[in-house]
Structure 1
Amino acid sequence: MTGVRTPGRAALPEQTLRTDRWWLSPVVTALGLLAFVGYSTWRAFFGLHTAYAAPYVSPFYSPCLAANCPDMKQGADWALFGSWWQLSPALIVLIFPLGFRLTCYYYRKAYYRAFWSSPPACAVAEPHARYTGETRFPLILQNVHRYFFYFAILVAGVLTWDTVLGFRNPAGDWGHMGLGTLVLLVNIVLIWAYTASCHSCRHIVGGRLRHFSKHPVRYRLWTWVGRLNARHMQLAWASLISVAVADLYVYLLASGAFSDPRFF
């Protein structure tokens, strides 16, 4: 027997001496992640014909990299994958932001606790007999997080352009602003804030420096990213919710549920 039940350790029958509702956080986390996975899976496989509602593009389908994309008329429609790609075009692009989030330091902590009970919470013994951390396959692949960061930057750049195009009306004229424009604007701000608060971004901005005094610009950027990094958890959830809300809004418009309220 290994772990906390090893002979010689204190023989406590209780799993933990905590008297608060320590189990509530992992349960809520699991439900929240499962809800997003379920929704995004449904939209990725069955949302092709409701991915565009002029002038808005669903963040799940942008940039559109397959020939079976709908005629979005604007936005990043590059069709790098030919007619041989028969699956949803969303699967091509979603692998990058989802890979970035899946390997994110905060999300790793969140789903390790919520789904694997590793550990369930602070000061709560995990049920596993052995612990190897992220030193073995498949968890050693979590180290690709820094590379997913670069792809996440590119996707965020495309979504930024989609947001700019949201200031055009359905006819393509500039000067439009509707509720969808604000939805996309809030979404991209949260996505950039979450991406910039990433530990990889913090290391890129201020890492490998021996003397901050010799690099005042990078030091200033490092302090800004550090402030965002302190809110990494909140930004992770806020951006996850915002991207789902943005996609849902485009879906409702494309399906004819209501018309986009226009401010001007």
Structure 2
Amino acid sequence: MATGTEPQPKSGTAPGGGVRDGTRAAIAAAHLRTDRWWLAPAATAAGLLAFVVYSTWRAFANADYYQAPYVSPFYSPCLADNCEPMRSGPNWEIFGSWWGLSPALLILIFPLGFRLTCYYYRKAYYRGFWASPPACAVAEPHKKYSGETRFPLVLQNIHRYFFYAAVPVAGILTYDTVLTFRDEHYEWGHMGLGTLVFLLNTVLIWAYTLSCHSCRHIVGGKLKHFSKHPVRYRMWQWVGKLNARHMLLAWASLVSVALADFYVYLIASGAFDDPRLF
């Protein structure tokens, strides 16, 4: 029974840790949610971790990334002279023989940098790996919070520049997809199962890239009068509709690019032959 003489918690403090200050209620419970709030961040962390493990293996493998007419999206464009000889997809030997590592490491920095600094992916791995915060209405366990104002997270602000790099990468993957309408002898008018895999991946990559918040801002974010720019206003509306599905497109394109690479790996390693549709 309370007597009114019990010691009161100091203002702005509460058991359980987390971000606490003078503006927060001194509630003993860490949170008041009763649902399985931890499922979403756990699933996000598992999915991202699976992709990191797979992409790291494939990036450093430096093998089984080309089988005419398919070239893995992880290795295109191939920028080193240690690339496998290929007549499918861009192969620019910009880096000489001094580059002894996998050529995938020269190109993956751009699409991965674009995704790493993406507004959605920030939310995903902040919650999934850093618990910052782990979920809505669940206080994070860290005692201090500086947001993205300090190094290294302040570098997240270069996302718009990675967008400029992501657009030509998507264009190159489109070119690679066009070249899949050839057979192993580079004759046009053919289509294999891999062509459909590449088509799906290209569509999702473009949808994810164009649904980016930076793209939406570039298209119409700086306009003060939409009535004076009807074309850009329509584009801004179209990009806005894609932006509403940015999370779905982020995951779908992540799976599709891994699937496209894995498909090339299977046929390049001899696991099975690419079925020809016509």
Q: In the alignment, does 2:217 pair up with 1:217? A: no
CA shift in 2, pair 1:6/1:190, >3 Å: same
SS at match of 2:93: strand
Q: In the alignment, does 2:84 pair up with 1:89? A: no
CA shift in 2, pair 1:140/1:8, >3 Å: closer
For normalisation by structure 1, the TM-score amounts to 0.97
Name the structure, 1 or 2, with higher relative contact order (CA <8 Å, separation 6+): 1
Q: Which amino acid aligns with 2:158?
A: V
The equivalent residue for 1:98 is: 112
C-alpha distance in 1 between matches for 2:24 and 2:93 = 61
SS at match of 1:80: strand
The equivalent residue for 2:143 is: 129
SS at match of 2:37: coil
Q: CA deviation at 1:9?
A: 4.4
SS at match of 1:175: coil
Q: In the alignment, does 2:161 pair up with 1:147? A: yes
Note the alpha carbon deviations across 1:5-59, whole angstroms, 9 max, x for none. 447843323211011110000100000000000000000011x220001111100
Segment of structure 1 superposing worse, 9-18 or 107-116? 9-18
Q: CA deviation at 1:119?
A: 0.4
What does 1:74-223 correspond to in 2, within 5 Å? 74-223=88-237
Q: In the alignment, does 2:255 pair up with 1:259? A: no
Segment of structure 1 superposing worse, 86-95 or 1-10? 1-10
Q: Of residues 46, 62, 69 in structure 2, which corresponds to 1:55?
A: 69
The equivalent residue for 2:38 is: 23
Q: Which amino acid aligns with 1:117?
A: A
For normalisation by structure 2, the TM-score amounts to 0.92
| Structure of larger gyration radius | 2
Q: Which amino acid aligns with 1:136?
A: R
Q: Which amino acid aligns with 1:247?
A: D
Q: Which amino acid aligns with 1:127?
A: P
C-alpha distance in 2 between matches for 1:7 and 1:232 = 36
CA shift in 2, pair 1:8/1:184, >3 Å: closer
Which ranges of structure 2 fall in alignment gaps of 5 or more residues?
Answer: 1-12
SS at match of 1:68: coil
C-alpha distance in 2 between matches for 1:6 and 1:84 = 55
Segment of structure 1 superposing worse, 23-32 or 71-80? 71-80
C-alpha distance in 2 between matches for 1:5 and 1:182 = 52
Q: CA deviation at 1:72?
A: 1.5
Is contact 2:111–2:166 with CA below 8 Å preserved after alignment?
A: yes
Percent identity of paired positions between Structure 1 and Structure 2:
75
C-alpha distance in 2 between matches for 1:96 and 1:7 = 42
C-alpha distance in 2 between matches for 1:256 and 1:230 = 41
Is contact 2:19–2:141 with CA below 8 Å preserved after alignment?
A: no
Q: Which amino acid aligns with 1:41?
A: T
Q: Which amino acid aligns with 1:97?
A: P
The equivalent residue for 1:226 is: 240
Q: Which amino acid aligns with 1:43?
A: R
Q: In the alignment, does 2:42 pair up with 1:38? A: no
Q: How many residues align?
A: 263
